[in-house]
Structure 1
Amino acid sequence: MTLVRFEPLRELEDFSSQIQKYFDELPFMFSGRVESFTPKFDIYEDNENLYVDVEIPGMKKEELKLTLEDNILTLEGEKKVSEDLKNKKFYRNERMFGSFKRSFTLPVEVDNEKIEAKYDNGVLNIKFHKLDAQPKNERTIEVQ
């Protein structure tokens, strides 16, 4: 008698793949999706600045609201379905739409007065001037 190893997770993955394939081959029956649009962020720094890049394709800069309060960055907006697509029959609808609001604390203290934001080709680039944790040059002050 030969023993066959039973792998329930493998069986479940195969079943899930078959179901997904079935739905992928059907015409898409809904004009919207349950999921909503969520912009993706990259955060990085150099010696003087902190940078935040956000992918927000298909929006206008006027549709975005960007705020910084107590070192918490908040981006909000709504990615809307264009009017000419609202009553169409979709065979596939993979783009995401909807309202979004993302907030997070910046990893370093920044100067609220030295912030630049530019939106180009679907990417929002934000540049923050970092506040020094310690003075760069120590100076002795003469007491009189």
Structure 2
Amino acid sequence: MEYEKLKQWMDLTNQYQTKSFWNDVFESKQIHATEELAANFFSNQDIFPRCDVFEENECLIVEAELPGVEINEIKVFLKQDELILKGECKTIKPSIKYYLKERPNRTFEKKITIPVQINRQEIQTHFKNGILSIILPFNQTDHENIPITLNHEESSSS
């Protein structure tokens, strides 16, 4: 009887010793999904410029970190429902002998989808301490209260 249990145990463990079993385990979609999430996380660590988008006082505010970037190196466009930030960050000085250089020269283009209708004529910008703020006022015509007259019908009694 113990021999029969041992044989069952051996048959069960044989399936874990095949190469195809372990390939199936490591090729599962769950593993790939985890790898994809990790890749996205680490690739997003180098996004430039980093931005915050939030709502405040009936406006959509976009704040972009642009340390070391001159204001004349930044271009901002609004194209349909996308805000586009383009520019160049120049950090390398040709006459300097560097011992550590972690901030490369780079050009950038960032597109941010604007989720609400905005008043394009009243957009404002501020650039202070390396932070570009773009104030996009909501389009108030979409939010106006429009009175609707209710018609009252008399019911006829017979």
Query: TM-score, normalization: structure 1?
Result: 0.63
Which has more strand, going by share of residues?
1
Corresponding residue for residue 123 of structure 2: 115
For the pair 1:88 / 2:96, whether they are aligned, the reply is yes
- 5+ residue gaps, structure 2, are 1-45, 150-158
Q: Percent identity?
A: 31
Following superposition, the deviation at residue 108 of structure 1 comes to 1.4
Question: What are the ranges of 5 or more consecutive residues in structure 1 without an aligned counterpart?
Answer: 1-35
Asked which structure has the greater CA Rg, the reply is 2
Which has the larger helix fraction? 2
Say whether the 8 Å CA contact 1:43–1:50 is kept in structure 2: yes
| 8 A Cα contact 1:74 1:102, kept in partner | yes
Superposition map of 1:91-110 within 5 A: 91-110=99-118
Taking structure 2 as the reference length, what is the TM-score of the superposition?
0.58
Number of equivalences: 105
Q: Distance in 1 between matches of 2:142 and 2:76?
A: 29
| Distance in 1 (alpha carbons) for counterparts of 2:146 and 2:68 | 49
Question: Is 1:131 the equivalent of 2:131?
Answer: no
Aligned to 1:73: 83
**2:70 matched to which residue of 1?**
60
**Higher RCO (CA < 8 A, seq sep 6+):** 1
1:77 and 1:135, CA in 2 relative to 1: closer, same or farther beyond 3 A? closer
Superposed CA RMSD in Å reads: 2.5
- Provide Cα deviations, 1:69-126, integer angstroms capped at 9, x if missing partner: 11210010111135xx324332211223211111121121211111001111100011
